[in-house]
Structure 1
Amino acid sequence: MNARKLVEPTIELEESYHCFYNEWKDSGEPMIPWVIEKDPTDFQAMVQELHNDAKGIDLPEGFVPGSTYWLVDGKNNVLGAVNIRHSLTEPLRNAGGHIGYGIRPSERRKGYATELLRLSLLKSKELGITNALVVCDESNTGSMKTILNNGGREDEDFVEEDGNVVKRYWIEL
Structure 2
Amino acid sequence: MQTVRLVEPDRRWKDTYLSFYEEWKKSQDQMVPWVISIEPYDFEGMLTFLNQQKNGIGLSEGWVKSSTYWLMDADDQIVGAVNIRHDLNEHLLNAGGHIGYGIRPSARENRYAVTMLSLALGKAKELGVSRALVVCDSDNISFKRTILRNGGTPDKDYIEEDGNRVNRFWIEL
Q: TM-score range by the shorter chain?
A: over 0.9
Tell me, in whole angstroms, the C-alpha distance in 2 between the residues paired with 1:52 and 1:76. 25
Tell me, in whole angstroms, the C-alpha distance in 1 between the residues paired with 2:126 and 2:162. 36
Residue of structure 2 in register with 1:42 after alignment = 42
Tell me, in whole angstroms, the C-alpha distance in 1 between the residues paired with 2:166 and 2:140. 10
Map 1:83-162 to 2 at 5 A.
Answer: 83-162=83-162
The secondary structure found in structure 2 opposite 1:71 is strand
**Counterpart residue type for residue 158 of structure 1:** Y
**Counterpart residue type for residue 56 of structure 1:** G
Tell me, in whole angstroms, the C-alpha distance in 1 between the residues paired with 2:83 and 2:19. 19
Structure 1 residue 3: Cα displacement: 2.1
Runs of 4+ with >6 A deviation: none
1:65 aligns with 2:65: yes
**Counterpart residue type for residue 136 of structure 1:** C
Map 1:161-172 to 2 at 5 A.
Answer: 161-172=161-172
Tell me, in whole angstroms, the C-alpha distance in 2 between the residues paired with 1:27 and 1:165. 25
CA RMSD of the aligned region, Å? 1.0
Tell me, in whole angstroms, the C-alpha distance in 1 between the residues paired with 2:62 and 2:94. 14
Count of matched residue positions in the alignment of Structure 1 and Structure 2: 173
Residue of structure 2 in register with 1:75 after alignment = 75
Structure 1 residue 52: Cα displacement: 1.1
The secondary structure found in structure 2 opposite 1:63 is coil
Tell me, in whole angstroms, the C-alpha distance in 2 between the residues paired with 1:38 and 1:24. 12
Tell me, in whole angstroms, the C-alpha distance in 1 between the residues paired with 2:170 and 2:109. 23
The secondary structure found in structure 1 opposite 2:156 is coil
Tell me, in whole angstroms, the C-alpha distance in 2 between the residues paired with 1:16 and 1:126. 27
Tell me, in whole angstroms, the C-alpha distance in 2 between the residues paired with 1:37 and 1:59. 17
Name structure 2 gaps, 5 residues minimum: none
Structure 1 residue 61: Cα displacement: 1.0
Residue of structure 2 in register with 1:3 after alignment = 3
Residue of structure 2 in register with 1:28 after alignment = 28
Structure 1 residue 76: Cα displacement: 1.2
Identity %: 54
Using the size of structure 1 for normalisation, the TM-score is 0.98
**Counterpart residue type for residue 62 of structure 2:** G
Deviations 1:17-72 (A, max 9, x none): 00000111111111000000111010011011101100001111110000000000
Deviations 1:148-171 (A, max 9, x none): 000000000000011100000000
